[in-house]
């Protein structure tokens, strides 16, 4: 079949020109349509990439292993523990089924299974039980002489004991003037309260430290034969919060007297009419240990009904200095040069920047993201080496080793960003870092700064864990009390705290007696002085601290700091990053 012949061209010059113009217009229109179709295809491709990344991220959060839940690891650990229990039960049954040894038979020595068990804690008291030995030789009746002894230690638990303390005030009268003399009534931790300081400390720590609601505690005490109404314990909690107010102010003053603080916030469900709304719990952490600071660490907590920027402005009204935080826009007014009493210098968290690349590297296997994570981890490796050193030494090492890597990373990120579409996920991750590069690079010039905001993240970890138990706060007042009474759950820092600055305690919702405030102030001053003189630490956690505080002066028993030989330095100086694994909080 022959192809159709082309249409003949006109002989008129004007007609030819018009034909050329028409063809050019059609060509431009076709090119415009092609460009539009190409842009639409690119947009659809970016949208597909975004949706795939979101789906993969959601699937991983739902089904994959999380550093918080660690579902697979917890399952394997549970299986391991059950197998160990089965093995121990089988060995015990085998030992019980063995025939008794005949008199005079050789008794085989006990061989411990490997790996060797860890020694029992040295600070626990030892109760020595000496088993009686025969007075004469069982073979010939001769006199026995002691050669030595074998000591086998067994860990034992003394059940909790309840008691009623009777304060007796005897009355005496003078037969000459008939005056009656009686000792003054002892002060109580809470006005008209019948609970001792140890019980109050236990209830407070159970509610805010172990996240046990008062209903569960009431049921536990009832099983032990001591029925306590939930309403009664609720009154104790509120009154104790009022009594502990001076300790709250002392800790806040200590935190905001620091040269550098960490800041972060998390959500708190609050009960509303027929539903729950989202409140916020803010934390500000002082931790000078990474740069060998001498002052003890502490964390201050505040509650707010929303996430408005006015709340951190009110919390930090008296503070000026360095602050490590995420890129929350509500902090921006704090960084203004005209702020009073002075501007807050922003230091951006590298962990947040790294996490965006890590998600892309893990889910999408993006080469640029993998390279960014590798380069960032090289910086964290240097930080682990200088953790706990003096600020001047940290700055010197960073200038020599970290600065060239940071400058090379910035140049490489800008080069890669120029090659990518701004709407792509990798470009967004790069833009997050480049837009905050001054804050990210600030740690190079100041040895007091850390690369991450992990100290604040750790301080809020207990809130995230506790939400599964207490579900929600009953009101804004309950949210404020929860923030004020929440102890610092930083496990690394928990071993090295002073009695006063170790934990966060209360912000009262009601007043207390002047007598209680005077006694609390005296305890506060005595504990502060002792902490500065002897650098003392907690003995047994937050309940011990509250107990000592409520008991009054002269009741704080302390122990010296311990050294962790595995680190080669005092374990108070710890802030290592998670290495190549993702840090999720």
At residue 191, the pLDDT reads: 79
The confidence band for 481, taking pLDDT boundaries of 50, 70 and 90, is low
Does residue 369 register a pLDDT over 60?
yes
DSSP SS3 for 429: helix
The confidence band for 69, taking pLDDT boundaries of 50, 70 and 90, is very low
Does residue 259 register a pLDDT over 80?
yes
Percentage of residues in the chain having pLDDT higher than 70: 66
Does residue 435 register a pLDDT over 70?
yes
Cα distances from 131 to residues 108, 125, 276, in angstroms, run: 19, 19, 62
Does residue 477 register a pLDDT over 90?
no
Which of 8-22, 90-104, 245-259 shows the lowest mean pLDDT across its residues?
A: 90-104
Rounded distance, CA 161 to CA 158, Å? 9
Average pLDDT of the chain to the nearest whole number? 74
- Is the model more confident about 321 or about 45? 321
DSSP SS3 for 345: strand
Can you say whether the dihedral through the CA atoms of 63, 64, 67, 72 is positive or negative? positive
What is the rounded average pLDDT of the residues 519-533? 40
What is the rounded average pLDDT of the residues 32-50? 74
Does residue 154 register a pLDDT over 80?
yes
Which of 96-110, 237-251, 491-505 shows the lowest mean pLDDT across its residues?
A: 491-505
What is the rounded average pLDDT of the residues 271-287? 82
Residue 190's contacts (CB-CB under 8 Å, 6 or more residues apart) are 200, 236, 239, 240, 242, 243, 512, 516
Q: State pLDDT tens for residues 95-146.
A: 666 555 544 444 455 454 555 678 888 999 999 999 988 888 888 888 888 8
At residue 2, the pLDDT reads: 54
| Region label for 213, one of left (φ > 0), alpha (ψ between -120 and 50) or beta (otherwise) | beta
At residue 28, the pLDDT reads: 86
Q: State pLDDT tens for residues 546-583.
A: 444 454 433 333 333 333 333 333 333 333 333 323 33
Q: State pLDDT tens for residues 293-314.
A: 989 999 998 988 888 889 899 9
Q: Which of 339, 236, 323, 331 is nearest to 287 (CA)?
A: 323
């Amino acid at each position: 079949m022959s192809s159709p012949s082309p249409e003949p061209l006109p002989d008129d010059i004007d007609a030819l020109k018009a034909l050329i113009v028409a063809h050019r217009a059609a060509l431009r229109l076709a090119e415009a349509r092609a460009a539009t179709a190409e842009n639409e295809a690119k947009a659809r491709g970016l949208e597909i990439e975004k949706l795939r990344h979101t789906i993969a991220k959601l699937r991983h959060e739902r089904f994959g292993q999380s550093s918080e839940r660690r579902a697979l690891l917890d399952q394997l650990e549970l299986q391991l523990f059950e197998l160990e229990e089965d093995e121990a039960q089988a060995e015990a049954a085998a030992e019980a089924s063995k025939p008794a040894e005949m008199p005079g038979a050789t008794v085989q020595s006990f061989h411990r299974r490997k790996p060797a068990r860890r020694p029992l804690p040295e600070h626990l008291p030892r109760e020595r039980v000496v088993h009686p030995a025969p007075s004469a030789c069982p073979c010939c009746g001769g006199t026995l002489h002691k050669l030595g002894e074998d000591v086998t230690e067994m860990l034992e638990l003394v059940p909790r004991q309840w008691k009623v303390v009777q304060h007796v005030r005897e009355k005496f009268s003078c037969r000459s003037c008939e005056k009656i003399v009686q000792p003054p009534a002892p002060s109580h931790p809470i006005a008209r309260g019948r609970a001792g300081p140890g019980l109050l400390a236990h209830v407070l720590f159970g509610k805010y430290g172990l996240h046990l609601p008062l209903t569960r505690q009431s049921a536990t005490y009832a099983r032990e034969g001591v029925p306590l109404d939930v309403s009664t314990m609720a009154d104790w909690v509120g009154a104790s919060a009022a009594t502990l107010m001076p300790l709250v102010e002392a800790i806040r003053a200590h935190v905001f007297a620091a040269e550098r603080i960490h800041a972060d916030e998390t959500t708190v469900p609050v009960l509303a009419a027929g539903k729950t709304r989202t409140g916020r719990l803010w934390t500000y952490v002082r931790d000078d240990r990474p740069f060998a600071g001498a002052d003890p660490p502490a964390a201050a907590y505040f509650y707010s009904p929303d996430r408005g920027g006015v709340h951190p402005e009110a919390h930090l009204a008296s503070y000026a200095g360095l602050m490590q935080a995420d890129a929350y826009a509500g902090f921006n007014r704090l960084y203004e040069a005209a702020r009073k009493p002075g501007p807050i210098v922003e230091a951006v968290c590298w962990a947040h920047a790294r996490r965006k690349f890590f998600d892309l590297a893990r889910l999408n296997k993006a080469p640029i993201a993998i390279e960014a994570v590798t380069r960032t981890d090289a910086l964290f490796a240097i930080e682990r080496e200088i953790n706990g050193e003096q600020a001047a030494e940290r700055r010197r090492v960073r200038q020599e080793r970290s600065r060239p890597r940071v400058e090379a990373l910035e140049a490489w990120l800008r080069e890669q960003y120029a090659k990518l579409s701004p709407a792509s996920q990798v470009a967004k991750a790069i833009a997050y870092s480049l837009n905050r590069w001054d804050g990210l690079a600030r740690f190079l010039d100041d040895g007091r700064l850390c690369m991450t905001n992990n100290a604040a993240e750790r301080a809020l970890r207990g809130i995230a864990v506790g939400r599964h138990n207490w579900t929600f706060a009953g009101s804004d007042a309950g949210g404020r009390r929860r923030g004020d009474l929440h102890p610092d759950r930083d496990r690394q820092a928990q071993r090295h705290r002073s009695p006063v600055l170790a934990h966060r305690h209360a912000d009262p919702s009601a007043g207390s007696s002047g007598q209680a405030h005077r006694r609390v102030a005296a305890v506060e001053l005595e504990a502060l002085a002792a902490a500065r003189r002897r650098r003392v630490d907690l003995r047994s956690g937050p309940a011990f601290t509250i107990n000592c505080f409520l008991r009054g002066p002269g009741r704080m028993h302390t122990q010296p700091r311990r050294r962790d030989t595995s680190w080669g330095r005092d374990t108070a100086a710890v802030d290592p990053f998670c290495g190549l694994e993702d840090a999720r909080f």
